[in-house]
Amino acid sequence: MTGTGEVGVRKARAAETEVALKEAAKRVFARTGYLKAKITDITTEAGRAAGSFYSHFSSKEDLLEALLADMLAESDQRVEEPGHSPDFSDPAAVRWHVAVYVRFVRRNRAVVTALHQAGMVDERFAERLRRMLEPNVRDIADHLRHVREAGGRLPGDPLVVASAMIAMMSEFARTWLLGDAGERLLGRTLDDEEVVDTLTDLVVHGIGGRPAV
C-alpha cells in the first residue's frame, strides 16, 4: 500500500514538473515563436523526459490554454490592489485599468504573442480563447455602466463598447508593445507612461465625449 507521504511526494513532483513545463514553454515561445515550437523543445528546455508532457497536457494548445488560465487568475487578483475602482465615470479608475493591462502585456509578452499566433491558424482554438476571455468583456461592460449611472453618455450598449475597447487595446498592444512600430514609425520606443496616458485619454474621451452625429 502506498503511504500518504509517498503520495504527497509524487503530487509535489508532478506539480513541479507542470510548473517547469509552463516556464519552459514561455522561454521557447519567446525564442522561436509559438508556431515553430515543438513539444520536444519544451520538454528539453524544462529538463524533463519527452513523455512527461502528456501526463499534464494533451497538446501544445492545451498547454497554451493553461498558461492563459494562469494569467487570467493572476489578473483577477489585481482587483484587490489599492487604487482599483469599477467606476469608469472616474478617469483615475480607467487609468488604473489601462496601467494594469500594459504591465500585464509587458510581463506576459511571449504568451500574449503565442495566443495571437495560435488563434490566427486554428479557428477552434480562437473560439476557445474567445470563450475564456468573455468574462473579462462582461466585467468591463459592468464598469462602463457606471458612466450611465453617473449621468454620462456611452456611445452604445456597454457590452458592445467593452468589446470595442478590448479589441482596440489588443491591437494597440500587438502593434506598439509587442511589435516594432515605435522604432519603425517614430524612431523610438514608447515608455509605459506615454502608452498609459495615450490609451487612458482615448478611452475616457471615447466613452464620454460628444456624439459624432
Q: Is the CB of residue 144 less than 8 Å from the CB of residue 158?
A: yes
Domain boundaries, the chain: 1-57, 59-208
Q: What is the pLDDT of residue 79?
A: 75
User: Using CA atoms in the order 110, 133, 177, 145, what is the torsion angle rounded to 10 degrees?
Assistant: -160
Q: Which of these ranges, 6-10, 41-45, 168-172, has the smallest mean pLDDT?
A: 6-10
The proportion of the chain whose per-residue pLDDT surpasses 90, expressed as a percent, equals 77
Q: Does 1-57 match 59-208 in CATH topology?
A: no
Q: Is the CB of residue 109 less than 8 Å from the CB of residue 178?
A: yes
Average pLDDT over residues 60-67: 96
Q: Which listed CATH number (1.10.357.10, 3.90.79.10, 3.40.350.10, 3.30.1330.10) goes with 59-208?
A: 1.10.357.10
- What pTM value is reported for the model? 0.88
Q: Which of these ranges, 70-79, 84-93, 102-111, 119-128, has the smallest mean pLDDT?
A: 70-79
| DSSP run (H or E) holding 38 | none
Among candidates 180, 159, 169, 201, which has minimal Cα distance to 104?
Answer: 169
| Confidence band for 107, pLDDT divided at 50, 70 and 90 | very high
pLDDT at 2 over 60: no
pLDDT at 55 over 60: yes
Average pLDDT over residues 116-137: 94
pLDDT at 167 over 70: yes
3-state SS track over 141-193: HHHHHHHHHCCCCCCCCHHHHHHHHHHHHHHHHHHHHCCCHHHHHHCCCCCHH
pLDDT at 212 over 80: no
Superfamily of domain covering 1-57 = Homeodomain-like (1.10.10.60)
Per-residue pLDDT tens over the stretch 177-205 = 998 888 888 898 889 999 999 999 999 99
Higher pLDDT residue, 211 or 67?
67
